[in-house]
Every structure is written in structure tokens, then in C-alpha cells.
């Protein structure tokens, strides 16, 4: 299989995955809830604070993704295993890795679409007053990376079970755990020499860096590595199939 065919195959798989997202009622429900909650929470305090900033918005975005990402990924592998379509999928001339990539990018694009729908927030703010766009762009970028990390983790978890609910709950638990490893309040009880290490491993700190508008290569590398690790683990789990 040459390079062109390799990517063409991923693209064909990707289209099917994306189609299943846009056909799934759960995804729309969660996006609907996501948009409503995000807008409500943000604008609730926005006028009180009176500042043209999206800081508040990007502060609780990770918490919203915590539920949205597992909701998007819970179905991905679990449903295939349950309905038996995995046996059809993995007897097509595709590698496990191609399928993992296709599922990941489809979920990422869908997440990106939901982020795009929040554009009403910055547009409203810019209408009301001057806003520094740097942190806004940085915030969205950081959100995309964070979301991608959660999605990679969620997909991995979906591959571990046939039950979507379990995939959902475990996904939330896993994403939450990885996020707070480096969060300030959990570092309080930890010996000081460990603190910087844990802070680096945790998902949260890197997000806060990026959302300040500062895009450090260190953070980008971190997220890409995180995503790669869990996609790789995902492929290994599928390969093992428990029964091979």
C-alpha cells in the first residue's frame, strides 16, 4: 500500500466515523447542553466583572470538556464491540492504527465544530468592548489541544469495554484524574521536589499556559505526546482484542 492509498483509506474511515457523530442524537444533546451551559455560566458573571476578557470562559472550558469528550467517545469502540461491527471493520484491508487515527480525527473535528459554535461569545464581547485577541486565540487553541487529549484518553477507554455507560463514566474519571494531577490544589500535599514533575504531567497546567496567550513549544509537545501515547495504547488494545 503506497502512501496515497494509506491516507485515502484513513479518509474513507474518517468520513464514516464523522457521519456517525453527526447522526448520533447523544452528540447533539451534549453539544446543545454544552453550549447552553457555557454561555449561561459565562455571561452570568461576565457583566458583574465588567471586563472584556474571555478568561472566565476558558477557565471552566476544561470542566465542560470533561463531560463532553467522554460523551463523544463512549460509543466509538464500545458500540462496535457490542454490535459486532468490529468484526466487519477489522477484516477490511485496514490496519488497527488507521482505524484509531480515523476515529480520533473524526472526534476531534466534531469537538472543533462545537468549539466553533461558541464563537458567539467572543463576537458578543468584541461588540461590547475592546478585547485583546491574543489570549482568545490562545485559549481556543489550548482548548483544542486539551480536548484532543481528553478524546484520545476517552477513545482508549472506549476500547476497553463493550458498555457505553462504563466507557462514559470511566472516561470522566480518567480525564479528571489526569487533569488534576498537576493542578495547584493537588500539589499542595506533595513533597516539593515532586511538584514540578507532576505539574508537567498534568493536563491542566499546560492548558492554563496556552490560554494565557503564550504558546510554548513545551506545551504543544506535551499535548502531542499525550495524544500519541493514548492513541498508541488504543491500537495495542485493539490488536490484543482480548482474544487474539
Partner 1 sequence: MIEIKNLSKKIGSTVILDKINLSIKGGEIMGFLGPNGAGKTTTMKIITSFWTPSSGSVEVGGIDVVKNPLEARRKIGYLPENVPLYDEMRVYEYLKFVAEVRGIPKDEIKDKMKKAIDACGLQKVVKKPIEELSKGYKQRVGLAQAIIHEPDILILDEPTTGLDPNQILEIRELIKKIGKEKTVIFSTHILSEVSATCDRTIIINNGKIIAEGRPEELIQRVGGEDIIYVKIKGPYEEVLRVLNNMTNVEKAERVDQEDDRIFGYNIIPKAGFDLREELSMAVMRAGWSILEFSKKKISLEDAFHKLTK
Q: Which residues bind partner 1 (CB under 8 A)?
A: 1, 5, 8-9, 12-13, 15-16, 19-20, 23-24, 83-88, 90-95, 241, 243-244
Alpha carbon separation from 207 to 180, 217, 222 (Å, rounded): 12, 13, 10
Decide whether 19 or 119 has the Cβ nearer to partner 1: 19
Decide whether 19 or 123 has the Cβ nearer to partner 1: 19
Q: How far is the CB of 69 from partner 1 (least distance, A)?
A: 21
Q: How far is the CB of 25 from partner 1 (least distance, A)?
A: 10
Report the largest interatomic distance among the alpha carbons of the chain, rounded to a whole angstrom.
60
Q: How far is the CB of 11 from partner 1 (least distance, A)?
A: 8
Alpha carbon separation from 32 to 11, 92, 160 (Å, rounded): 27, 35, 28
Phi, psi of 241 (to 5 degrees): 50, 10
Phi-psi region of 189 (alpha: psi -120 to 50; beta: other; left: phi over 0): alpha
| CB-based contact 33:130 (threshold 8 Å) | no
Decide whether 9 or 164 has the Cβ nearer to partner 1: 9
Q: How far is the CB of 19 from partner 1 (least distance, A)?
A: 7
d(CA 141, CA 50): 24
d(CA 145, CA 141): 6
Decide whether 15 or 218 has the Cβ nearer to partner 1: 15
Q: How far is the CB of 80 from partner 1 (least distance, A)?
A: 8
Decide whether 23 or 192 has the Cβ nearer to partner 1: 23
Amino acid at each position: 500500500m503506497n502512501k496515497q492509498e494509506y491516507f485515502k483509506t484513513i479518509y474513507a474511515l474518517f468520513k464514516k466515523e464523522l457521519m456517525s457523530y453527526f447522526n448520533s442524537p447523544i452528540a447533539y444533546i451534549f453539544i446543545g447542553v454544552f453550549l447552553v451551559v457555557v454561555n449561561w455560566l459565562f455571561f452570568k458573571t461576565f457583566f458583574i466583572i465588567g471586563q472584556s476578557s474571555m478568561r472566565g470562559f476558558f477557565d471552566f472550558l476544561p470542566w465542560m470538556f470533561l463531560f463532553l469528550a467522554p460523551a463523544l467517545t463512549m460509543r466509538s469502540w464500545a458500540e462496535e464491540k457490542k454490535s459486532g461491527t468490529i468484526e466487519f471493520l477489522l477484516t477490511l484491508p485496514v490496519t488497527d492504527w488507521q482505524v484509531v487515527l480515523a476515529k480520533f480525527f473524526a472526534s476531534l473535528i466534531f469537538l472543533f465544530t462545537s468549539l466553533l459554535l461558541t464563537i458567539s461569545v467572543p463576537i458578543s464581547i468584541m461588540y461590547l468592548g475592546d478585547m485583546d485577541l491574543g489570549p482568545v486565540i490562545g485559549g481556543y487553541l489550548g482548548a483544542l489541544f486539551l480536548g484532543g487529549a481528553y478524546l484520545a484518553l476517552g477513545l482508549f477507554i472506549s476500547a476497553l469495554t463493550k458498555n457505553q455507560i462504563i466507557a462514559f463514566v470511566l472516561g470522566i474519571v480518567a480525564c479528571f484524574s489526569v487533569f488534576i494531577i498537576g493542578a495547584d490544589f493537588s500539589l499542595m500535599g506533595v513533597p516539593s521536589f515532586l511538584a514540578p514533575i507532576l505539574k508537567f504531567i498534568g493536563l491542566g497546567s499546560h492548558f492554563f499556559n496556552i490560554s494565557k496567550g503564550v504558546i510554548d513549544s513545551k506545551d504543544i509537545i506535551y499535548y502531542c505526546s499525550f495524544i500519541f501515547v493514548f492513541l498508541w495504547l488504543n491500537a495495542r488494545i485493539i490488536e490484543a482484542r482480548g482474544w487474539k
